[in-house]
């Protein structure tokens, strides 16, 4: 009986070891990283970043700060929007050697208004496995504290600066769904001005610098928040998530 139980235990350990070994090689991991506060990273993400043979990232200078905070020594290589096509081939070379690769963007979940979708498509077409390591997302974080219905929303990311901008603004005006937008430093008042003309007194929530030192969440109608930001230029700085109430 003792021998049988021992054999079962050995078989189980061997099975687990083989499973873990098979997951190390030839896999691309898409890893979510903090959007601000470095503590907002999962234990699994830390482990994967430590165990990977190479980390490809949007900006090595940004990612290096995260790796230093968790004493991660894995080699880094740049893969941004300009190099995604060529660097995808290098990722495939690693996977062909049965090595594991992690990909991270500067913050949050890759491929969401960030580079990565061309990489994941290339890896899938090459026949390799991709695993997601979920975590922080400014879209979900902002929606969760907005008080605005999030069971049906339209995420439009950053609006185009010129071509196509008016078309997307019209789409925002016509939809009856909650709208989620991104905006960057010093552009928020322009966006609010355009929305005021199109939407009138529609309610909005603006989440600025989520999880960072100067995090702020503002709620009101578009005109109110536009006036508040125009009177306080310091509130126009940072990274913004803007959530617009559904059309009634």
Cα separation, 73 vs 58, in Å, equals 17
| 4: in domain | no
Joined together, the tokens standing for residue 166 give 């008016």
pLDDT for position 11:
40
> What are the pLDDT digits (tens) for 29-79?
999 999 999 999 999 999 999 999 999 999 999 999 999 999 999 999 999
Beta bridge partners of 108: 33
Do 64 and 40 lie in a common domain? Answer: yes
Considering its fold, how many domains does the chain have in total?
2
Beta bridge partners of 106: none
> What are the pLDDT digits (tens) for 118-164?
999 999 999 999 999 999 999 999 999 999 999 999 999 999 999 99
Of 95, 115, 133, which one is at a domain's C-terminal end?
Answer: 133
CATH of the domain at 200: 3.30.950.10
Do 203 and 190 lie in a common domain? Answer: yes
Categorize the per-residue pLDDT at 3 as very low, low, confident or very high, splitting at 50, 70 and 90.
very low
Q: Give the structural domain span for 27.
A: 23-133
Rounded to 5 degrees, φ, ψ at 241 are -115, 125
Joined together, the tokens standing for residue 74 give 């894995």
Handedness of CA 47, 52, 57, 62 (dihedral sign): positive
Of 112, 133, 154, which one is at a domain's C-terminal end?
Answer: 133
pLDDT for position 10:
40
> What are the pLDDT digits (tens) for 164-193?
999 999 999 999 999 999 999 989 999 999
pLDDT for position 23:
40
């Amino acid at each position: 009986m003792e021998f049988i139980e021992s054999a079962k235990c050995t078989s189980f350990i061997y099975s687990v070891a083989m499973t873990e070994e098979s997951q190390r090689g030839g896999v691309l991991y898409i890893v979510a990283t903090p959007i601000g506060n470095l503590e907002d990273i999962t234990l699994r993400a830390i482990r994967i970043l430590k165990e990977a043979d190479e980390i490809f990232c949007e900006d090595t200078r940004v990612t290096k700060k995260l790796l230093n905070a968790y004493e991660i020594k894995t080699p880094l290589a740049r893969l941004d929007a300009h190099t995604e096509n060529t660097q995808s081939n290098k990722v495939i070379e690693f996977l062909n050697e049965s090595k594991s690769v992690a990909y991270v963007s500067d913050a949050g979940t890759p491929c969401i208004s960030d580079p990565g979708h061309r990489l994941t498509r290339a890896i899938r077409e090459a026949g390799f496995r991709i695993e997601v390591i979920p975590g922080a997302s400014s879209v979900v974080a902002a929606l969760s504290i907005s008080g605005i219905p999030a069971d049906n929303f339209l995420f439009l990311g950053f609006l185009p600066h010129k071509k196509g901008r008016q078309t997307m603004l019209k789409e925002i005006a016509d939809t009856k769904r909650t709208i989620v937008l991104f905006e960057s430093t010093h552009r928020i008042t322009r966006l609010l001005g355009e929305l005021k003309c199109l939407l009138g007194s529609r309610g909005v929530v603006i989440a600025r610098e989520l999880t960072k030192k100067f995090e702020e969440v503002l709620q009101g109608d578009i005109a109110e928040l536009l006036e508040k930001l125009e009177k306080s230029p310091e509130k126009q700085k940072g990274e913004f998530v803007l959530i617009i109430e559904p059309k009634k």
